[in-house]
Chain A
Amino acid sequence: MTRKLLSLFMLAVLAVGCAPKVVDVTAPGTGADPEGFKAPLHRWPEDDSPALRFLSVRDPWEPVNRELYEINATLDKYVMYPAANVYRAFVPAPVRTGVSNALNNLGEVPVFLNCLLQLKMKKAAITFARFLINSTFGVAGVCDLASNNPKLARRQEDVGQTLGVWGFDSGPYFVMPVLGPSNLRDTAGFGGDTLLMYLEMGYIYQTLGFQDNSPLDMTELIVRGLDMRANTAFFYHSTGSPFEYEMVRFIYTKKRELDIGR
């Protein structure tokens, strides 16, 4: 069943078209290398330049990270982004919102545990209240009724943040395959969150009486991936800057640092 769904989905991706349509043209004379001109003056890199110093982030694995960033960009361009487009084109918006809400609702459990581990009792209470309200009145989380109350807006805590709160250093910057910007601590944290989610889902499947949940796991993974990509506004190389890697690295690192401080 999952296989069938998967192949149907792949067909849909191919039908809608993966990457942009490319037209080949010839431009006589421009294929040649334009080298020859040398700037009379130069502004080569200087040690300890005060410019944009905030952009520097501890990144000893930079060469590998940069390669991974490019691999992710290519994967996204040909697989994830087109898949999310198909998802958006064929699944009506209310259904997508429902899926998003339901997944977020399942995610409240790890968030709640992380709030507790960080001793953030108010956040924990809000998250617990959200889970109760949305799981019952919100039909298993499909409707996010809790967010109607601005005081009960969704909070985000994960194991990476918990480790940060307990004094674990971020470690070197790391670009996770497929998922993108992270660091050593947050990658470990992601493992923790995945484990929590896995245990929670296992418990739910068991309660619902499923014996073998491997096809469900696969479907769940795909749905989660589609939901995540469809709700992420970022598109690789859309900054129009050759320094995008540096910008993304800075924004990720700064945001995590601040989120841990909040």
Chain B
Amino acid sequence: MRATLLLTLALLLLPPALLAAAEAPYPFDDPYQATVFGTPADMRYAFKAPVRPEVRAIRIEDRRVPQVFSYSRDMFFSTALQDGPAPLLFLIAGTGAEHNSAKMIFLTQVFHEAGYHVAALSSPTHMNFVAAASDSRVPGFVPNDVADLNRVMGWVREELAKECSITGYAVAGYSLGGLHAAFLAERDKRTGEFGFSHVVMINPPVSLIRSVTRLDSWLTGRNLGRMTVHERIQDYLDRFSDYYLNADVTDLDDDFLFRMIKEIGLEKQDFKALIGAAFRISSASMIFTSDVCLRAGYLVPPDDYPLRTDDPLLPYAQQAFNISFNHYLDEYLLPYLQYQNPQTTREEVVRLSSLEAIRPFLENEEKVRMVGNRDDVILDDGDVAFLAEVLGARARFFDHGGHCGNLMYPAFVQALFEAVRP
């Protein structure tokens, strides 16, 4: 009798205990660590039947792509289609990210599991998009980038409609892609091309310029102290090398990288510098690509053309790495926009690259949702307050996760499912 009682008791207690184990809290309270480490592999959401996205390409006829980027002649994107009729969700990547980066494949699987056909597109700031798809080939001005995305989405829809039955449209994106998603929806309200039923911003910035200025500030003396960014990077390299030399390790997997960064004793300012440097590397790629496509003479002197596959590019990389986004804005993007339209002002460019520009739309559209983190490192307090105020209950904030750190964590994925539920 007593044994039965105990057994019953144990069984009653078991499910909550198991649930507690499955719901282990997201492990990083520090937003910078969360941003760098992401979600550990064993804590990620497990898909019921993970799909493998298929890579496809669009080729714009007669488009001139510089020989040095011949491998980037076609614009690549990936798809994961349902067997039967379903709505099509366009997924937009974050700054410098490709359609099939780790985060993008994960999100493609999320929305596919939620019942959508998914078409995943690279960010308009990714070199492939700049070289093969962008109309202006000068990325970073949100209205232009959104027009480019919209055009590409039209081609994708036309192509996919031949293969599957599309019952509606939705759009989502993470980071800068989230901001693009909102602008695409706002544009669509005016043009009525797609009629999106759901719009999801995942960890979006509020103002592109404000967020990238934050990232850039982590590579300046205020964060790095007396060392220059180059000395600091050299210092990290030396410390990583030293750790590897003495570690008993056989594979360089995620687990090793995690242990190394943990054990090397990096501080908050170091995490900031690493995030800033990663961003700088992707912006350097973007700036160089644009300059070469336009032959604008910003990084590459006119005499160096034609640039070919066998030309060394390191000298340009070195220069490009030194360019902060604000420099890019003042020295290249703004002059380009003024070349197109002399009336353009800096204030206008900054304003039109911020969600503040479409505030009434965001306030009134029930279909616009946001899933993000209160401690997102690309947002300041004012940005968080803006999103909470404008979207109200349609903004779902997690306390911890930094910038996209908890993107693969089960509770975050559940919030995404809820955001696209019909």
Contacts and interface: CB of A to CB of B under 8 A. Distances in A.
A254 B316 contact: no
A24 B339 CA distance: 31
Interface string A1-39: 000000000000000000011111111011101111111
A241 B323 CA distance: 16
Contacts of B297: 38-39, 42
Interface in B160-180: none
A154 B250 contact: yes
Nearest to B250: A153
A34 to B, nearest CB: 5
B262 interface: no
Contacts of B194: none
Size band of the interface chain A makes with B: 35 or more
Interface stretch (A49-57, A135-143, A178-186): A49-57
A246 interface: yes
Interface stretch (B111-119, B181-189, B229-237, B410-418): B229-237
A153 B299 CA distance: 47
Nearest to B69: A242
Contact of B312 (A62, A74, A153, A155): A62
Contact of B335 (A39, A45, A53, A236): A39
B367 to A, nearest CB: 29
Contacts of B298: 39, 41-43
Contacts of B316: 45
Given A30-B63, A54-B237, A63-B310, A40 B331 contact: yes
A229 B72 CA distance: 22
B271 interface: no
A44 B321 contact: no
A156 B251 CA distance: 10
B356 interface: no
B164 to A, nearest CB: 14
A38 B296 contact: yes
B47 interface: no
Contacts of B282: 240-241
Interface string B303-330: 0000001111111111111110000000
B10 to A, nearest CB: 32
A50 B245 contact: no
A70 B319 contact: no
B100 to A, nearest CB: 8
Contacts of B76: 20
Contacts of B100: 238
Contact of B313 (A22, A154, A243): A243
B90 interface: no
B126 interface: yes
Interface string B90-116: 000000111011000000000000000
A253 to B, nearest CB: 12
Nearest to B63: A31
Nearest to A245: B313
Top 6 A-B residue pairs of the complex, sorted by shortest distance between their CB atoms: A45-B315, A31-B62, A63-B310, A39-B298, A51-B318, A241-B285
Given A41-B331, A243-B288, A246-B314, 10 more contacts: A23-B58, A26-B62, A33-B64, A34-B136, A42-B299, A43-B299, A51-B322, A73-B71, A243-B314, A246-B313
Interface of B: 54-64, 68-72, 74, 76, 96-98, 100-101, 122, 126-128, 135-137, 151, 155, 159, 228, 230, 233-234, 237, 241, 244-245, 250, 281-282, 284-285, 288-289, 291-301, 309-323, 331-332, 335-336, 339
15 contacts: A23-B58, A24-B61, A25-B58, A27-B60, A31-B63, A37-B336, A38-B296, A38-B297, A41-B331, A43-B320, A46-B319, A51-B230, A64-B310, A156-B250, A243-B284
